[in-house]
Structure 1
Amino acid sequence: MNMTEMMTSFNRSVSFKRSTSLGRRAPSVTSPRVRRLSWVSRKFHVLVVIGSLISFIIAIGCGYLFLLPSFSQAFHDYDTSKFNGTFSSCNVFDGSWVQDDSYPLYNATECPFVEQGFNCLGNGRNDKDYLRWRWKPKTCDILRFNVRNILEKFRSKRVVFVGDSMSRTQWESLICLLMTGVENKKSVYEMNGNKITKQIRFLGVRFSSFNFTIEFFRSVFLVQQGWMPKHAPKRVKSTLKLDKLDNISTHWINSDVLIFNTGQWWVPGKLFETDQTRRICNVTQNPLSEARGRDQSLFSDTVLEVVKNMKVPITVLHITAMSALRSDAHVGNWSDSPFTPDCSHWCLPGVPDVWNEIILSYLLTD
């Protein structure tokens, strides 16, 4: 069985054990020029959604078939022929959000790996309607999985997320989804006994009954980051060594499934100071019926162009538009810092659960 080889913009190739996944945005795109903006309600929401959710980029060679040889047994109540064996026959991102009382798929209060800032109900949000929405593609369905069987298929494997707080949210989501199939909850634990917080650079949760781990490495740019040069302009906040991967990259190389996120490349204020005079976060009562331009981005277009020129086959799972419709599901004022409205992150349970459902569906069908 062939190994999956990932070619990056750093002109170095890395061979992974089983399958490799790049989360949401391509790391081979250079940082865009940041313009000075005055943030107001809708513009702020649009920019953060585009910046944080450019796309899933999943690169999976034939090795994933060896990783999950009978993955289809982990799903039920679904006719896989609707996909015709490939995502290319169905645009899973062309659809709408429909109400579904079988959601949410877990209770955040009962999952110890949801950090306080993302547990909106626990932070005082009273309405629960935002929890009961499912993504429905027009011409197919996202697979509903049997959690217990998924746990078996991940036995003795290592799943790794690399990125920023958006990656951490998705990491927490996947853990909580899989914990619903574990009888002894104490058999699932953080390997170093750490509490789930934004300050820790490495977090790893072990499912001891199944001998596999789901890990998170904080690496916001994926490359080495340095201090501001001595004589740099005041607007420059830090430096990046584009030809060198993050020092901790050696720790995630030997993973079976690897999901990258390059979100910080797309958010103004991370590399340069910006004139931010006001920020307003508008959390709606229901999902939007149309994207209203939120799915349009030069950044996304650049990602798609770069992927086309990569030597290794890459499948882009572009979740920007579908996520942009969920203005009702942002953290807003229901975080651990209620005086700082948050329209970039998502409540858990919520939208990141659907991202994980799509990844699992992709592993099965393509």
Structure 2
Amino acid sequence: MVSAFKRSLSVGRRSLTSPRFSSAVSHHRKWWSSASPSDLALIFALASAFFLSGLYIFHTYSASAAVDVVEVGEPSIDADPVEIGSCDVFDGSWTSSNRRLPIYNGSECPFAERGFDCVANGRRDTDYLSYTWKPRRCEVPPFEARAVLERLRGKRVTFVGDSMGRTQWESLVCMLMAGVEDKSTVREIYGNSISKTIRFLGVKFGSVDLRVDFYRSVFLVRQGRSPRHGPRRVKSTLRLDRMDEISGNWADSDVIVFNSGHWWTPGKLFDASEISFSDRGCYFQVGGALKLGMPIPTAFREALDTWASWVERTINFNRTRVFFRSFEPSHWGDVDQKGCEVTRHPMPEPKGNIHAELSDVISVVVGKMRAPVTLLNVTLMGAFRGDAHIGTWSYPPSVLDCSHWCLPGVPDSWNELIFSYLLMNSS
């Protein structure tokens, strides 16, 4: 897949060799060959003195530097970005971590849905909580809630997408709450309970004047009624050439994280036996024309092209950082989604339904954008984590779920990557 994230973090490297340095060495060789023995003795004595002085300075500096390292309790948020910028942070593996995990307790965070709190819902094997994502060629600093809150002071972070995006939103809110001493200063703006049916949820961190919002827009483009003379099976349409009517609320943000794709399936769109977001029998429309035979990947591409045009036309990139998260794998045991493969540990090889056609569309659209949009390529990360889905530990327990993730869990690692990137690359 194309990784816009990797491209956006690339840094220049200077060569360690220099032709000018090599030619200078050749020039000075002539001087050494013509020097007298007394000159050489004097030079040797001076060189020895400089060498011994250098050893003393180096020893003193090294000792003081070692003391400084020991005294540092957490990574500086103004650190050199080379460690992250010089590698693909999505190329790595899950490792069991000795540092304290998880960052928060799902049962104690009022913004984590009960349906995502697997431990509260009876899951006893908690090994899945001990894994962190380790890039192969760089170090991502651990998430320090207080440092992140301070960096985001006075900002607005917005998530736009489906229930998978809401899971990441809940994860970030709970992660940030771990750094707040007075929890009463954190509230949902309108006093709403966390629900999958509400189109807008917003949490205000009063102590740092930070808002973290979620907008439910599962398709990103506008849903509308069927044309007056349309076929009877068409109950609603997706206007592939028009953005969601609530999109005007998104632009005034400092960070926006988009996702879409999980609702672009026959069951969520066409099938009369399954209810979609607003109705059943939802088909595609461009302009005034219905596109009844348009394949889903083609329609998804049309919709993302509309989204990309909106981003490039609307977003002020001097202020706002835009991310698009790639498709998250599910680990259903069969195509009918009646069996669920929840393993005890991460799988040794990536598996799961990654909806390759839709994943490719995301990569292509984000990759060709002129605007600096970052692709969060989490597909491979999630493909190993058959152990971290909700499975039978849902609420109510009769609902089997091998698409969504337990909280705390995998979405915490996505937020660590985003905000490690933001902190390390902020001006």
Q: Structures share a fold, TM > 0.5?
A: yes
Could you tell me which amino acid in structure 2 is paired with residue 312 of structure 1? A
User: How far is 1:59 from its partner?
Assistant: 11
SS in 2 for 1:269: helix
Which position in structure 1 is the counterpart of 2:416? 357
| C-alpha spacing 1:227/1:333, structure 2 compared with 1 (3 Å) | farther
Bigger mean CA deviation after superposition, 221-230 or 138-147: 221-230
Which position in structure 1 is the counterpart of 2:340? 281
Q: Deviations over 1:114-159 (max 9, x none)?
A: 0111011111111111111111111112211322121111111111
- 2:245 equivalent to 1:263: no
**Distance across 2 between alignment mates of 1:295 and 1:343:** 13
Match runs of 1:12-51 below 5 Å: none
Match runs of 1:81-96 below 5 Å: 84=82, 87=85, 89-96=86-93
Which position in structure 1 is the counterpart of 2:180? 182
**Distance across 1 between alignment mates of 2:407 and 2:78:** 29
Which position in structure 1 is the counterpart of 2:327? none
**Distance across 2 between alignment mates of 1:60 and 1:161:** 23
**Alpha carbons 1:295, 1:320 under 8 Å: kept:** yes
SS in 1 for 2:361: helix
* TM-score, normalised via structure 2 length: 0.64
- 2:161 equivalent to 1:163: yes
Match among 125, 128, 146 for residue 126 of structure 2: 128
| C-alpha spacing 1:305/1:74, structure 2 compared with 1 (3 Å) | farther
**Distance across 2 between alignment mates of 1:122 and 1:262:** 29
| C-alpha spacing 1:274/1:284, structure 2 compared with 1 (3 Å) | farther
Which position in structure 1 is the counterpart of 2:231? 232
**Alpha carbons 1:120, 1:347 under 8 Å: kept:** yes
- 2:197 equivalent to 1:138: no
User: How far is 1:257 from its partner?
Assistant: 1.0
Match among 330, 344, 357 for residue 389 of structure 2: 330
Could you tell me which amino acid in structure 1 is paired with residue 154 of structure 2? S
| C-alpha spacing 1:130/1:228, structure 2 compared with 1 (3 Å) | farther
Which position in structure 2 is the counterpart of 1:98? 95
SS in 2 for 1:331: strand
Q: Which structure would you say has the larger RCO, counting Cα contacts within 8 Å and 6 or more residues apart?
A: 1
List gaps (5 residues or longer) in structure 1: 1-53, 63-72
| C-alpha spacing 1:233/1:343, structure 2 compared with 1 (3 Å) | farther
SS in 2 for 1:109: coil
Match among 296, 310, 321 for residue 380 of structure 2: 321
Could you tell me which amino acid in structure 2 is paired with residue 95 of structure 1? G
User: How far is 1:86 from its partner?
Assistant: 5.2
SS in 2 for 1:162: strand
User: How far is 1:304 from its partner?
Assistant: 2.1
**Distance across 2 between alignment mates of 1:95 and 1:59:** 13
User: How far is 1:177 from its partner?
Assistant: 0.5
SS in 1 for 2:201: strand
Task: Provide the alpha-carbon RMSD of the alignment.
Answer: 3.1
Bigger mean CA deviation after superposition, 208-217 or 241-250: 241-250
**Distance across 2 between alignment mates of 1:182 and 1:103:** 17
Could you tell me which amino acid in structure 2 is paired with residue 103 of structure 1? L
Bigger mean CA deviation after superposition, 102-111 or 238-247: 238-247
Which position in structure 2 is the counterpart of 1:47? none
Structure label with greater radius of gyration? 2
SS in 1 for 2:341: coil
**Distance across 1 between alignment mates of 2:259 and 2:79:** 29
- Aligned residues: percent identity? 51
SS in 2 for 1:224: strand
Q: Deviations over 1:150-184 (max 9, x none)?
A: 11111111111111101110000001101011000
Which position in structure 2 is the counterpart of 1:195? 193
**Alpha carbons 2:219, 2:264 under 8 Å: kept:** no
SS in 2 for 1:159: strand
> Which one has a larger percent helix, Structure 1 or Structure 2?
2
**Distance across 1 between alignment mates of 2:365 and 2:90:** 20
List gaps (5 residues or longer) in structure 2: 10-71, 274-334
- 2:393 equivalent to 1:343: no
**Alpha carbons 1:74, 1:150 under 8 Å: kept:** no
Which position in structure 2 is the counterpart of 1:206? 204
SS in 2 for 1:250: helix
User: How far is 1:335 from its partner?
Assistant: 1.0
SS in 1 for 2:269: coil
**Distance across 1 between alignment mates of 2:240 and 2:143:** 39
SS in 1 for 2:239: strand
| C-alpha spacing 1:104/1:226, structure 2 compared with 1 (3 Å) | same
